[in-house]
Amino acid sequence: MSQKEITIYDIAEKLAISAATVSRALQNHPAVNAKTKKRIVDLANELGYQSNKFASNLRKQKTHTIGVIVPRLNSAFMSTVLSGIEKVANNAGYNLIISQSFETHDKEAQNAQTMFNNRVDALVISLAYDTKDYKHLNSFIKKKIPIIFFDRVADKIDATKVLIDNFKAGYQATEHLIQQGCKEILHITGNLSRNVYNDRFEGYKKALEDNGIKYDQKLLICNDLSEKAIEDCLKNDVLKRTKLPDGLFITSDPSAAYALTILKEAGVKVPQDMAIIGFNNDLISRVCEPAISTINYPGNQMGETIARILINHLNGESDINYMNTVILKTDLIVRNSSLKKK
Binding region for its own copies (CB under 8 A): 1-3, 48, 50-55, 57-58, 61, 63, 65, 72-76, 78-80, 82-83, 86-87, 90, 95-100, 102, 111, 113-114, 116-119, 139, 142-145, 227, 254, 257-258, 260-261, 264, 283-284, 286-289, 291, 300
| Residues between 7 and 26 that touch DNA (CB under 7 A) | 7-9, 16-21, 23-24, 26
Side-chain-side CA neighbours of residue 62 (13 Å): 6
Contact criterion met (CB below 8 Å) for 207 and 270: no
* List 41, 56, 290, 340, residue binding DNA (CB under 7 A): 56
* Secondary structure (DSSP) of 9-78: HHHHHHHTS-HHHHHHHHTT-SSS-HHHHHHHHHHHHHHT----HHHHHHHHT---EEEEEES-S-SHHH
Binding site partner of 220, from DNA, its own copies, none, Cβ cut-off 5-8 A by kind: none
For its own copies, give the closer residue by CB, 138 or 193: 138
Q: Is 288 in the site for DNA (CB under 7 A)?
A: no
Are β-strands 220-222 and 185-189 bridged in parallel, bridged antiparallel, or unpaired? parallel
Contact partner, 33, from DNA, its own copies, none, Cβ < 5-8 Å per class: DNA
Per CB under 7 A, which region of 52-60, 83-91, 196-204, 249-257 contacts DNA?
52-60
- CA dist 229 and 341 (Å) reads 31
State which of residues 38, 60, 183, 329 lies at the interface with DNA (CB under 7 A).
60
Nearer to DNA, 17 or 192 (CB): 17
**With respect to its own copies, which residue has the nearer C-beta, 46 or 216?**
46
**Can you state the percent helix, strand and coil of the chain, rounding each to 5?**
45, 15, 40
327 contributes a contact to DNA by CB under 7 A: no
Q: Does 33 bind DNA (CB under 7 A)?
A: yes
Rounded alpha-carbon distances, angstroms, from residue 289 to 73, 210, 264, 339: 27, 31, 10, 13
